[in-house]
Amino acid sequence: MKRIKLNNGLLMPQEGFGVYQIPDYGDCKQAVMDALSLGYRLLDTAQAYKNEEAVGDAIVESNVDRNDIFLTTKIWVSNYGFEKTQASFNESLKKLNTDYVDLVLLHQPLGDYYGAYRALEQLYQEGKIKAIGVSNFAAARYVDLVSNVKVIPAVNQIETHVFNQEQPIRPYLKEYGTQIESWGPFAEGKNHLFTNETLVAIGEHHDKSAAQVALRFLLQSGVVIIPKSTHIERMKQNLAVWDFELSAAEMKKIQALDENKSFFVDYSDPQFIKALNSWEV
């Protein structure tokens, strides 16, 4: 599997396994162990997912060396602020049953994210975190952050799929050397992604599904992906995207599907912001 070199030299697998919306301990632990057995080496969790313990236990009980796993977690808004972020990170370390995390992201561009980011910078300098970054930071908020911190984010994990390709932020990420990572690479099935005529037709040409075409498009666009499934057969299918290549014409057809809008979040909506700030973990 291809690995991406981050702006600090750290190598990150371009495809990994996400555990969003798998809060049940047993289900999450089994899913992670299945993923590791299939060859996934990038694992993505978060404080807000409430499954760090399951991920950590799965890693320990697997036959995979911890040093071969690229582990990501995210700090939630209610834990922002310099001291609170450091304390919550130490709690995450305990839950994950590890003494370091490969990548830690700020989950939302809300609250005291500057204090939280400076805490991550210190933890990075101490070697407890190998890389730091952000999630859900749109272009303006991202540029403001990178203009006022010492360590440029290694990753910005944002909603990225065939219907929301995040083109407006790409030039800024390239300018500062921040890797784009997709959450929601399938758009959670919205817009009938799995039966989209364009994706299905291209998939038939390669003997692949629409879902596999959607993932391959992101990979060829330089995006890190973390598809999620609790079904081992679908995990296998999500990995089977490295043995074919989309042509320039096929890429162009998929690029035309871009609606340049979020299907899930609206940071201009006061009620949405209020809900995120009231959610504690």
**How many angstroms separate the Cα of 63 from the Cα of each of 66, 69, 74?**
9, 11, 25
Nearest to 90 by CA among 115, 73, 77, 78: 73
Amino acid at 230: T
Q: Are 72 and 103 in contact (CB under 8 A)?
A: yes
Annotated catalytic residue: which of 40, 49, 117, 124? 49
**How many angstroms separate the Cα of 118 from the Cα of each of 27, 106, 182, 221?**
35, 11, 24, 31
**How many angstroms separate the Cα of 205 from the Cα of each of 40, 208, 245?**
27, 8, 11
Active site residue 267: no
- Show Cβ contacts of residue 124 under 8 Å, excluding neighbours closer than 6 positions: 130, 131, 132, 151
Reduced to 3 states, what is the DSSP secondary structure of residue 280? coil
231 labeled part of a ligand binding site: no
Residues in the chain: 281
**Residues that are catalytic:** 49
Q: Which residues are annotated as a binding site for substrate?
A: 107
Q: Which residues are annotated as a binding site?
A: 107
